[in-house]
Every structure is written in C-alpha cells, then in structure tokens.
Structure 1
Amino acid sequence: MIKSQVTQAKKSLPYSQAIRKIVQTALLISLALVARNLSVMVNIMGATGMRVGFSQVFSRMPALLFGPVFGGIAAGIVDILAYLIRPEGAFIPLLTITQILDGVIVGLVFRAVKNSDGIKLRNTMWILFSSVGLLGLINVIISSHFSGSFIALALNSLGEKQSFISKGLVLISVIALLLLAINHVVRKKLPDASIHKYYLKILLSFGMAGIPVTTINTLILKLFIPTLSNVAFTVFYLPRLTEEILVTVVLSYISAFLLAVLDRIKKPE
C-alpha cells in the first residue's frame, strides 16, 4: 500500500512541477505588464523609437528559471497583452516574433553558462571581446589605408552597414571590456556579494539576446514605418543600441540580485 502511494507520488511529481512553473510564469507575466505600463516610450524622428523601462526583469525571468520554451512563451504573451492593454503605434507581428526569439536566446545562453566556472567564463569573455575589438580594428585599418584590397572592397560594398563590422565591433569590444573591468573592481571591493554568482552569466545572456534583437527590430521598424524610411540606419540605430546596452547592465544586476534572493529562499541558512 505504502509502495503504491510512493509510486503514485513520483508519477504526479512532474505534473505538479509543470503546474508550478506555469503559475510562476503567469505571475511574472503579470509583473512584467505592470512594469511595462510604467515604462516610457521615446520617439525618434517622430516615430516610435525605443522603450525605456525595466519590464524585462520579469519577462525574461521565466527564461532564466525554466529555460528557453517558457522564456519564449512569456516574452510573446507579454508583447501581445501589452499591445492590447496600451497600444502604441501599429501592431507589427514580426516584433512579437523577435521578442519570442529574445526569450528563447536568453534561456538557451543562460542554460549553457549557468553551471560554468565563473573564473573560466570571465577569462573567456576577456579573450572573446578582445578578439572582437582586434577584428574591428583590423577592418578599420584595412578600410582606411588599404582601400584597394579585396577585404576593403567587400566591406565598402555593405554601404552604411560597413561601419558596424569595423567601428561597431571596436565599440562593442570597448564597452564589454569596460563592463568586465568594472565587474572586476566590484568583485574586489565586495567579494562576498551574492550577485557575483549570476551577474556575468546573466549579462552575457541578456547581451547576446538584446543586441541582435535590437538590431533586427531596428531594421523591421525602418521597413514598416514610412517616416523612418529616409532616416539613416546609423542615426536611428545608435540611440537604440546605447539604450539597450545601458539597460542590459542595470537589468543584469537586478536579475542577479533576484536570483540570489531565490537561492536564499530555497536554501535558507
């Protein structure tokens, strides 16, 4: 009798865990919608440009907690419900798809690095972003001083987007290395802070999702909003990219703090 009850309990465990994840995801979606209504929409060139707020702390949390499937579903639901609650401009389904992609990427990247060694991850990021900066610098030098070379001609054929794989890579490298340096100083000053366990992992996850999605969204907005068709891509993109990077840093700290709090709740000392 007891054995059969134990067996039944084991069978019902996955079901109860799924229900728990769904309930928690629904709660996080609700919090994301509330936070989104408190955000500020900034217009660029008379059109919807970028949203400044912290709703992604909650809309991305399912991806961190439960993986890419829950992350993608939560991000898509938040985007659709937010439009229904407070529409701002025309509804563009492609933007909803990119939001789903954002949640999926966050979940995939965080799952890949969650249990990785912190020191190895930091060293890898130093090497990676140094290499990115070096590649961008080489492209700048080739374009400026070897304009007749095959590589320079290939870069110039990209038009205004050429700067993103030359100066853009250098800029991304400088920002990333600066953030790593700041994180190093903070770790030295506050070695016992619990957020260190998650911060860089979340920063990497958010950055690898947010920057590509921001880039794609910029292209989509230029394609679907007539007033932006004559605006240079760089003029429209750089403010959005700058905002994305700054907000990502803040969101990563907040999310790392929340995950550390959850750890304490699950495993009280």
Structure 2
Amino acid sequence: MKSKMNTKFLVTTALCISIAVVLRSFSIMITAGGVLTMRISFGAIFYVLPGLLFGPLYGAIAGGMVDILGTIVMPMGAYIPVFTLTNILAGFLPAVIWKKIRNIPIENLKKYYVIFFSLLTLVGVFNTIVILTMHNSYLGKMLMLMGKKAQYVGVGLILSGVIGFTLLIINNIINKHNNNNYSYVYNNFFKLVISVGISGVIVSTINTYFILMFTPALAAKGFMILWIPRIVETLIMTIINSYAISVLMYSYSAFEGRVPKKI
C-alpha cells in the first residue's frame, strides 16, 4: 500500500513538474548586465504544491527538477548549479513551514495577516510621499539612488497591500455566503501566505547574494538596489500563488474523495 501511495505521489509530482516547466517558459524575465535578476512566473505554484500535499521531500524534488528542465527547455545564460539548490529549497521550505502552522487557529493568523499588510501599505504610502514631495530629504535622496526602482518601495508596496486586502475581502464575502467547503480555501490561504511568503523572502535573499556574487557590475551598486524590487515581486506573487495553491489543494482533496470539513 505504501509503495502504491508513493507511486501516486511521484506521478502527481511529475505532472506538477511538467506544468511548472511549461509555465516557466512563459515567464517575464528581467535582466541586468546580461544576468537574469528577476523571473515573474506562475511556475512556483506547481513545484510548491507537491511538498504541501505529500511532504517536503516531494517539494524539493519538484523544485530541483523544474530548474534543471526549465534551463534545458529555455536556457537563459549559463547554467549555475547553485540556483538549482536554491530552487530545491524553494520547494522544500514552504512544506516544512506549512507542517508547523497548518493546525494553528485561523483567527490568530488573520490578525497577523492584517497587521502585516497594513504596515506594508503604510510604508508604501510614506515612501511615495517622500519620493514625490521630499526628494531633497535624506531619506528622499536615499530612495532616489535607486532610480526607477524606487517605485518598488512606493507603489510596489502599496500594490502588495491592495492585493492582500482585496483577496481578504473577497475571501470573507465568499466564505460568509458559501458552504462549508470553501472554508478550506479560506483558512488555508492565510497559512499559505505565511508558508510561501517566508520561504520566498529567504530564497529571494539568498539568490540576491548569489546574483551579486556572479555579477560584479551589479554588486558595485549595492545589495539593497537589487534586493528590494525582488522582495516586492516576491510578496505580490506570494499572495497570488497562495490563493491558487489553496484552490488546487482543495480540488485535489475533492478529487481524492476527501472533501474537507469546516475548520
């Protein structure tokens, strides 16, 4: 029975890997100095999903294989093995964090969710005001050193907050007027934002160090110049990906005949 289950897990993981590689091929890629510095893609949904469903090992396998196969299918510069390792971590970490927090009451997590995105929005508004009206101040000059990327710490953070609260409102409305099954999506969304978000920030930070290590021209501009826009992109994609993963997890449970009860 265990062998049969493992086979099913591997087949499902292989399917997720295939979908992730295809989605990765349609990525929006941003380069600097001839080096890929940011990849905007929905591929992460499908290499994170196996780890959440079957355990961290499957997430690690999916993350590593997606990077290797994605490089073969659509190479972008030289292959750097260290990024395969960080992609393995990107598939592994969310599952580990998920196992730790999935049984925590949703109301406790929702409070932290609201506080986090409120602070994020306020920081974005403050930075935008500084950029527009106080650019001669010390903080304004610091932000202006980022050039066009200064918008990431202004409009970018505001956008992250707006998306976060929009999904919260939509979730609350649907959950209030829907049956108990939707509560599975509703509850898991917040927990996935934390699991995927913490992992994303860690992996993005590590990748930023490696990008600077391999690109001296970028390193000369400083860590924050590259790290901030990458983190903002990570936050935005975390919100979207977490919702999609939550829906897919419910769909998988329903397909397996294990329709979740209200938590």
**Residue among 187, 212, 222 paired with 2:212:** 222
The code of the aligned residue for 2:52 comes to: L
Asked whether 1:188 is paired with 2:172, we answer yes
Counterparts of 1:25 and 1:67 in 2: how far apart (Å)? Answer: 11
The correspondence of residues 154-233 of structure 1 with structure 2, limited to 5 A, is 181-191=165-175, 192=178, 193-194=182-183, 195-233=185-223
Name the aligned partner's letter for residue 200 of structure 2: G
Query: CA separation in 2, counterparts of 1:184 and 1:46?
Result: 39
- The structure-2 alpha-carbon separation of the partners of 1:180 and 1:226, relative to structure 1 and needing over 3 Å to count, comes to closer
Tell me by how many angstroms 1:78 deviates: 1.0
> Post-superposition shift, 1:222?
0.4
Report matched runs for 1:235-254 at 5 Å: 235-254=225-244
TM normalised by structure 1 equals: 0.72
Identity %: 30
Q: Distance in 1 between matches of 2:33 and 2:42?
A: 24
Q: Secondary structure at the match of 1:60?
A: helix
From 92, 95, 110, give the equivalent of 1:107.
95
Identify unmatched segments of 5+ residues in structure 2.
124-156
CA contact (8 A) 2:31 2:37 kept: yes
Higher CA-based Rg: 1
Number of residue equivalences: 224
CA distance in 2, matches of 1:265, 1:246: 29
Q: Give the corresponding residue for 1:48.
A: 36
Q: What CA RMSD, in Å, does the superposition of the two structures yield over aligned residues? A: 3.1
Residue 200 of structure 1 and its aligned partner are, at CA, apart by: 0.8
Look up the SS of the partner of 2:85 in the other structure.
Answer: helix
Structure 1 ranges of 4+ moved more than 4 A: 124-127, 173-184
Distance 1:262 1:243 in 2: 28
Give the match's secondary structure for 2:104. coil
CA contact (8 A) 1:79 1:96 kept: yes
Specify every segment of 5 or more residues in structure 1 that has no aligned partner in the other structure, as ranges. 1-12, 137-172
Distance across 2 between alignment mates of 1:180 and 1:122? 12
Paired with 1:249 and 1:98, the residues of 2 have a C-alpha distance of 21
Cα deviation digits, residues 75-100 of structure 1 (max 9, x gap): 01111121122211122222111111
TM-superposition CA deviations, 1:155-200 (whole Å, max 9, x none)? xxxxxxxxxxxxxxxxxx9998777654543343222345203111
- Cα distance, 1:102 vs structure 2: 1.5
Deviates more, 1:40-49 or 1:29-38: 40-49
- TM-score of the pair, normalised by structure 2: 0.74
The equivalent position to 1:72 in structure 2, one of 35, 39, 60, is 60
Contact 2:113 2:190 in 1 (8 A): no
Q: Provide the rounded CA distance (Å) in 1 between the counterparts of 2:168 and 2:20.
A: 31
SS state at 1:198 partner: helix
Residue in 2 that maps onto 1:24: 12
Paired letter, 1:242: V
Cα deviation, 1:219-255, whole Å, max 9, x if unaligned, reads 1000012332322222212221111111111111111
- Distance (whole Å) between structure 2 residues aligned to residue 33 and residue 183 of structure 1: 27
